[in-house]
Amino acid sequence: MAHLTAGVEYGIHCLLWLALERDTSLSSRDLADLQGVSPSFVAKLFPKLEKAGIVVASNGLRGGYRLARSAARITLLDVVDAIEGPKPLFDCQEIRGRCAVFDGALPRWATNGVCAIHAAMLRAEQAMRESLAATTLADIADTVGRKAPASFSQAVTAWVGGRTDARSARRGTRGRG
């Protein structure tokens, strides 16, 4: 995993809303608008999340995305790997073999084994992956649920319902033309 991009943050936030609004499918546009982020950017994330089996899509008036499995079975590592792919955290450039003191005669000890810096970065990446694998979307949702007042959840549910009602009204008006 390379430096984690904004896509991971956007993706986790979107999935959090799907976890909190369990009974509703939300479009990528709704999820982007709800959070005030770029709809086109969010739309690019969902095919990756769908391919990874994290979300499922449905068509129709009430279509959109839903979690493919319970939030307790989706880890942050699942999301990172789906969005970022299998990139290493650190890409060792083997600089240790370029030291000017060696003057072209590279001693064996200088490059014997894994570079100490690379080894430290591998340990850090492993620790990070273990931490992300140990944290689920449900864990994040529980934290948000404890922090936010009930009125916030009600406001989100009302906002989502308003979007669905507006879509229904637009389609009903078009169908009468």
| Residue whose C-alpha is closest to residue 5's, from 76, 75, 80 | 80
Angle ∠(108,114,120) on CA atoms, nearest 5: 140
Domain total of the chain? 1
Tokens at 51, concatenated: 């391919």
CA of 65: how far to CAs of 3, 11, 99, 132, in Å? Answer: 27, 12, 53, 23
Q: What's the pLDDT tens digit per position in 61-101?
A: 667 999 999 999 999 999 999 999 888 878 888 888 888 88
Q: Is residue 122 part of a domain?
A: no
The pTM for the full model equals 0.83
- Give the per-residue SS3 of 68-83: CCCHHHCEHHHHHHHH
- Give the per-residue SS3 of 135-164: CEHHHHHHHHHHHCCHHHHHHHHHHHHHHH
* CATH number for position 66: 1.10.10.10
At 7 the pLDDT is 93
- Chain-wide mean pLDDT for the chain? 88
pLDDT over threshold 50, residue 6: yes
Q: Is residue 48 part of a domain?
A: yes
Q: Is residue 97 part of a domain?
A: no
Segments of the chain assigned E as strands = 55-58, 64-67
At 176 the pLDDT is 45
Q: Look-up: residue for tokens 């690379």?
A: 118
At 52 the pLDDT is 97
Domain that holds residue 75: 6-90+136-175
Average pLDDT over residues 28-52: 94
Q: Is residue 61 part of a domain?
A: yes
